[in-house]
Amino acid sequence: MAVRSHMQQITGMTTCGSYEKYLGLPPIVGRSRYNTFKSLKERVWMKVNSWKNNFLSQAGKEILLKAVIQAIPTYSMSVFRLPRRLCKEIPAVMARFWWGHRQNDRRIQWRSWFKMGDSKKRGGLGFRDLESFNKAMLVKQCWRILNNPSSLVAKVMKEKYFKEDRFLEARLGYAPSLIWRSLWYSISLVKESLRWRVGDGS
C-alpha cells in the first residue's frame, strides 16, 4: 500500500479497484461464457427500451437497429466466440422492437428474423446473422495472423500455442484461453476458403 501511494504521488494517477473490463472486454472469462457476455444483451435491451417506438418509421427502426444495435457486440465478436444462446437472444430483442413490442407485449411476428436477414433483393432487410458474423470476424483475425506473422499478437500466439508449427497446423493445446479457443475454432474456416494462385513469386 505504501509503494502504491508513493507511485500515485509521483505520477498523479488514480488506482482502479475494479477490473471487470479492460478496453471494453472482460479480462477474465469464467466457466459460464453466457454470464460473462450477458452485459451485451443488457446494453441492447437498454438501448431499445430508451427509444420511442411510436414515433419511429420502419425505415428509422431499420437504421437504428443496423447502425446502433448491431454495432454493440461487434468489438467483442472480433476477439471472442460468443455463446450461441446469446447470438439468438440479441436478435430476439431486435425482432420485438421491430414488430412494435414492449416488455410485456405479445404481438404477431409476421416474418421470421432469419428471413429478415436475407438481402433486400430476396425480400429481406439485410439484418446480420450474429453467429455467422461472429465467425466472419474471427476468421478475419486469423487471416491477419496468417498475413502478418511479425505483428505482436501473432508473435504472442505463436510463442504460446504453435511454437514449432505453422498457424494453420496449430493445436488447441492444454488449458487454452478463450481468445485462442475462439481463433482455433475459426482456422478450419480459413482452410476451407484458401486458394492457391499461380504467380511470378512476388
Q: Convert the pLDDT of each residue in 42-54 to its tens digit.
A: 989 888 888 766 6
Q: Quote the pLDDT of residue 29.
A: 73
The fraction of the chain above a pLDDT of 90, given in percent, is 24
Domain boundary among 128, 147, 169: 128
Residue 31, phi then psi, degrees to nearest 5: -65, -35
For residue 179, give its domain range.
133-193
Half-sphere exposure at residue 68, Cβ-oriented, CA atoms within 13 angstroms: 15
Q: What is the mean pLDDT of residues 118-128?
A: 84
Amino acid at site 172: L
Residue 198 domain-assigned? no
Q: pLDDT tier at 8 (50, 70, 90 boundaries)? A: confident
The more confidently predicted of residues 60 and 14 is 60
Q: What is the mean pLDDT of residues 195-200?
A: 81
Residues 113 and 149 in one domain: no
Contact 43, 86 (CB under 8 A): no
Strand partners, 22: 25
Cell of 195: 486458394
Q: Quote the pLDDT of residue 136.
A: 93
Residues 120 and 152 in one domain: no
Find cell 494517477 and name the residue: 13
Residues 118 and 140 in one domain: no
pLDDT for 76-100, tens place per residue? 999 999 999 999 999 988 888 888 7
Q: Quote the pLDDT of residue 106.
A: 64
Residues 116 and 162 in one domain: no
Q: Quote the pLDDT of residue 126.
A: 85
CA neighbor of 177 nearest in space, from 202, 197, 198, 160 = 160
pLDDT for 139-187, tens place per residue? 999 999 999 999 999 999 999 998 888 888 888 888 888 889 999 999 9
Residues 85 and 168 in one domain: no
Global pTM value: 0.77
Residues 111 and 137 in one domain: no
